[in-house]
Structure 1
Amino acid sequence: MSNNEFHQRRLSATPRGVGVMCNFFAQSAENATLKDVEGNEYIDFAAGIAVLNTGHRHPDLVAAVEQQLQQFTHT
């Protein structure tokens, strides 16, 4: 689906009071780069404002999470 198709879908399913900061829909992200559903890349200048001060999918954090998951038990 294109950004426009996702936008139309969002309009039909989301209340008008919900705001959107950008006009594209992210497919993936790594470090400070976002890639949208059409393959365009953007530098994410806003992520550090909230909780992403290490960037998207920082390799050290991914490794730490993977290590913890290896120790996971479900009882």
Structure 2
Amino acid sequence: MNSNRAMMARRSDAVPRGVGQIHPIFAERAENCRVWDVEGREYLDFAGGIAVLNTGHLHPQVVAAVEDQLKSCRIPASRCWPMSLIWRCAKR
């Protein structure tokens, strides 16, 4: 089992010092407003970054929408392969 301390030591060896990390806790998984670290401890996510602030982690509707996009090959490479998704989203 990994520990936060061991993972922080490995991170310090591999990641340049200019790349910050606020807490010495490594997330293993997250769901709704909860995050579990690599040691199995549970936390309430009061930080809620921009990706999960409004919906929480792994919101079923967000997961379903992402899965739908992946299955239909709607990739965001509009210059290479233009798709109707681009203008449909832009019109909203």
Question: What interval of TM-score do these two structures reach, taking the shorter chain for normalisation?
Answer: 0.7 to 0.9
In 1: Cα distance, 2:68 partner to 2:16 partner: 40
Secondary structure of residue in 2 paired with 1:64: helix
Structure showing greater radius of gyration is: 2
CA RMSD of superposed structures (Å)? 1.7
Spell out, residue by residue over 1:17-50, the C-alpha distance to the aligned partner (whole angstroms, 9 max, x if none): 22111111000011111100000011111114x2
The total of aligned residue pairs comes to 72
In 2: Cα distance, 1:7 partner to 1:14 partner: 10
Structure 1 unaligned blocks of 5 or more: none
Equivalent in the alignment of 1:26? 27
Matched ranges for 1:1-75 at <5 A: 1-48=2-49, 50-53=50-53, 54-72=55-73
Shift of 1:59: 1.1
Structure 2 unaligned blocks of 5 or more: 75-92
Question: Higher relative CO (CA 8 A, sep ≥ 6), structure 1 or 2?
Answer: 1
In 2: Cα distance, 1:18 partner to 1:71 partner: 35
Secondary structure of residue in 2 paired with 1:60: helix
TM-score (norm 2): 0.68
- Among all aligned residue pairs of Structure 1 and Structure 2, give the percentage whose two residues are the same amino acid: 51
In 2: Cα distance, 1:72 partner to 1:18 partner: 33
Shift of 1:51: 2.6
Secondary structure of residue in 1 paired with 2:22: coil
